Structure 1
Amino acid sequence: MTAGMATGAGGRTVVTGIGLLTPNGFGLEEFWQATLERRSGIGPLTRFDATRYPARLAGEIDGFDPASHLPARLLPQTDVSTQLALVASDWALQDAKVESGGYADYDMGVVTANACGGFAFTHREFHKLWSQGPDSVSVYESFAWFYAVNTGQISIRNGLRGPSSALVADQAGGLDAVGHARRTVRAGTPLVVTGGVDSALDPWGWVSQLADGRVSHAVDPEHAYLPFDTHACGHVPGEGGALLVLEDADAARHRGAHQVYGEIAGYGSTFDPPPGSGLPSGLARAAELALADAGVAAAQVDVVFADGAGVGELDRAEAAAINAVFGPRSVPVTVPKALTGRMHSGAGPVDICAALLSIRDGVIPPTGKVTRVPAEYRIDLVREEPRTARVSCALVLARGRWGFNSAVVVREALPR
């Protein structure tokens, strides 16, 4: 059996602002152009000497200078993942043109996901502990490592004192955050900043990622992460993510929101049965819950943004789930994260952004450098070139380690 949930009835929840940082683009439009052109952000890991490790490729965000974006007082108290999250939230609120004083403090909340915590910060401070003694350790270590710190720091920086949460579900967590933020909006909070950002490319973080046995040992960045490919050999870790401004559609209209990217129309999550039970993954059920929550039939979905593990067994299981919901080769499937690496909690929100842009521009992005899909998968994977298509509804899927499955339905915002 799989456990599942979907949100209840309520008003429409729309996306009015986006802030995004990924290995292949800073900001929404730069990321989108790189994705459509199949420009990869994957390359040799440069944060430390990785030559002794079996995996040496990563999706790094190069050229990011937190000091040019954030006050100096924040830098010594924040991990790189929090610095990225703060900048992304700044950009999202600016993009939404949320004016200071436009909402009461308690009418704005924050819901983020984080899978790794502040690895780099903690690694640095523990090194001080071992080499210099406890008096050398930063007092900020007490919270800089913590999974909820991004929610707290975004709230403090922007005066967002409404209902706030932090979720941890590995790769699925970013979609869970968006789903919970939607629930928060529908329960009466007019605006919620939500999404996920992760970074764990220091030695401690790197070893923790290698431990699961799913990281690619390939040395060619062009062919290291090939989801749904016959030559799939694991994934490449990445860093980054996206923060979105979610608003009640009526509240957004009332404040004169200048843009609406689309609607977060449905959400579902499940948990897999125990390993060895012989029972199937709960991914298909998560997709069905999200579609039911949105009131959307499978035939109305124009594209699936897949999880794309890049591991044969897991790709085969996801293909089976997609077939179970939609039928063989019945819907285009894409995995744009093949160009960025798997960004843990940041991956799902970035896929939501890509889905919104697919709706806006009428184009489905390709799946990295994948060339050959096993016939047994029976999926219509978009490869090699972007595909022009009428896109009004997309399904985004994500899976986390130890059985987390999440799905979000993104739909074009229709006038009431």
Structure 2
Amino acid sequence: MSSHVVVTGIGVVSPNGFGTQEYWDATVASRSGIGRIKRFDPERYPSKLAGEVDGFAAEEHLPSRLIPQTDRMTQLALVGADHALADAGVSTEEADEYGMGVMTASTSGGFEFGQEQLKNLWSKGSQYVSAYQSFAWFYAVNTGQISIRHGLRGPSGVVVGDQAGGLDALAHARRLVRKGSDLILSGGVDAAICPWGWAAQLTTGRMSTEERPDRAYLPFDADACGYVPGEGGALLILEDAEAARRRGARHVYGEISGYGSTFDPRPDSGREPTLRAAVDIALADAGLRPQDIDVVFADAAGVPELDRVEAAAITGVFGPRAVPVTAPKTMTGRLGSGGAPLDVATALLAMRDGVIPPTAHVTPRADYGLDLVTAPRHTAVATALVLARGHGGFNSALVLRSSARA
């Protein structure tokens, strides 16, 4: 078994595309999935826009018995897992069930399911609360339901680190493969577009209140005014490179070759943020120099002070305008634990097709010193750095190599 861990399958459920190819086509074409919320009436709330997976009907994709047991988040995750396994050409029935595991990230758990059961409790009584509430809200439920559905009984778990958690999950999945697991299904999917979830997210004070979809989420722009939340994400199949080749894997999208994580000091400590340190750790883990990186997928908070910190970290490592930087999440919103895995999937597709997808609607501030990609840029992509930060101080960085270099 080698130390190289590769991605052999991708499953995407995104506001601007259901399925990997639909998402990729929309992203390269700068088609956004952000709009006024449809899942509930947002009129009473200061923030009214979201990236929603429009037209998703769980009963078209999942057995009827699963519908009353699961939150929308889990339903999206189950479909994403189905797509990832199919893309990888993996037959779980024929493989060692204890050699395959699931490692996901979660930010919010099953908020909408919990909201409905609380409504039942207070309006009808405790006898109307679903027994499935005991797990449908839980952070680990996506891991559990995917594991049960596909018989993946190997090492499994969940990590919680807000937006950064998606990269942390992939990094832990890489560790499990290196320790001998045949396959780990990993990534993240979140969905909390409901009144209870909305109220929780508003407490950050960082959500945009702009009602024009093309002006609401503008990271690195002079008009940056906060972020737009979204739902969805991506799930990936990770395998040992030699094992994937032996089984005749349909695709080897690329290798997860480096990872670093840090935690910021208290805001009032007088100490500097540590995102740059996470990048340095990831590059060292990958054995690469800054000049070896072809593109950076930014965390892109959309909050001026946070954008400034990220821009300083990127220019501190690479130099001013020395590397292309992009944030396709401007077309989906920030997806919680699903955002960074979706960026990883996007980076792998950029490597496959030789095009860096754009950052939509943004006119970058010159003083940030970033070479921000605002229109599709056709160029060879052999390496990529994906950045993610979570509310409270989480920082993570992941380095990818193309399949040609894996």
TM class by smaller structure: over 0.9
Match of 1:374 in 2: 365
Q: Aligned-pair distance for 1:255? A: 1.2
| 1:414 to partner: Cα distance | 3.4
Alignment partners' CA distance in 2, 1:332 and 1:263:
20
2:268 corresponds to? 276
CA apart distance, 1:359: 0.7
3-state SS in 1 of match to 2:214: helix
Residue of structure 2 in register with 1:412 after alignment: 402
Which runs of no fewer than 5 residues in structure 1 stay unpaired? 1-8
Alignment of 1:2-81 (within 5 A): 11-81=3-73
Deviations 1:118-166 (A, max 9, x none): 0000000000000111111000000000000000000000000000010
Given that residues 2 and 242 in structure 2 are in contact (C-alpha distance below 8 angstroms), is that contact kept between their aligned partners in structure 1?
no
Alignment of 1:204-219 (within 5 A): 204-219=196-211
User: Which residue does the alignment assign to 1:5?
Assistant: none
Partner of 1:127: 119
Using a 3 Å threshold, how does the CA distance of structure 1 residues 10 and 277 change in structure 2: closer, same or farther? farther
2:261 and 2:397 in contact (8 A); partners too: yes
Q: Which residue number corresponds to residue 258 of structure 2?
A: 266
Identity %: 61
Per-residue CA deviations over 1:175-210 (Å, capped at 9, x if unaligned) read 110011011101110100000000001100001111
Q: Structure 1 residue 293: deviation in Å? A: 0.8
Report the counterpart of residue 160 of structure 1 in structure 2.
152
Who is 1:317 aligned against?
A: 309
Structure 2 SS opposite 1:99: coil
Q: Alpha-carbon deviation of 1:100?
A: 3.4
**Aligned residue-pair number:** 406
Distance 1:106 1:288 in 2: 35
**Distance in 2 of aligned mates of 1:264 and 1:103:** 23
Instruction: Report the Cα distance in structure 2 between the residues aligned to 1:293 and 1:223, rounded to whole angstroms.
Output: 38
Cα offsets for 1:285-307 (capped at 9, x unmatched)? 11111111111111000000000
Q: How big is the shift at 1:407? A: 0.7
* Residues in 1 aligned to 2:330 and 2:263: alpha-carbon distance in whole angstroms: 25
2:386 to 392, 396, 404: 396
Cα distance change of structure 1 residues 61 and 322 upon mapping to structure 2, 3 Å threshold: same
Shift of 1:48: 1.1
Q: Secondary structure at the match of 1:110?
A: strand
Alignment of 1:104-115 (within 5 A): 104-115=96-107
Aligned-partner Cα distance in 2 for 1:156–1:100: 12
Q: Distance in 2 between matches of 1:354 and 1:54?
A: 31
TM-score normalised over the length of structure 2: 0.98
Equivalent-residue separation in structure 1 for 2:15 and 2:168 (angstroms) = 23
Structure 2 counterpart of 1:197, from 149, 168, 189: 189
The Cα RMSD (Å) is 1.1
| Alpha-carbon distance in structure 2 between the residues aligned to 1:259 and 1:359 | 13
Q: How much does 1:47 deviate?
A: 1.1
The answer for the alignment partner of 2:346 in structure 1 is 354
2:174 to 167, 182, 186: 182
Matches within 5 A, 1:235-254: 235-254=227-246
Match for residue 295 of structure 1?
287
Task: Indicate the residue corresponding to 1:3 in structure 2.
Answer: none
Structure 1 segment 223-238 matched on structure 2, within 5 A: 223-238=215-230
Structure 2: unaligned runs, 5 residues or longer: none
- Kindly state the Cα deviation for residue 256 of structure 1 after the two structures are TM-superposed: 1.3
Matched, 1:84 2:76: yes
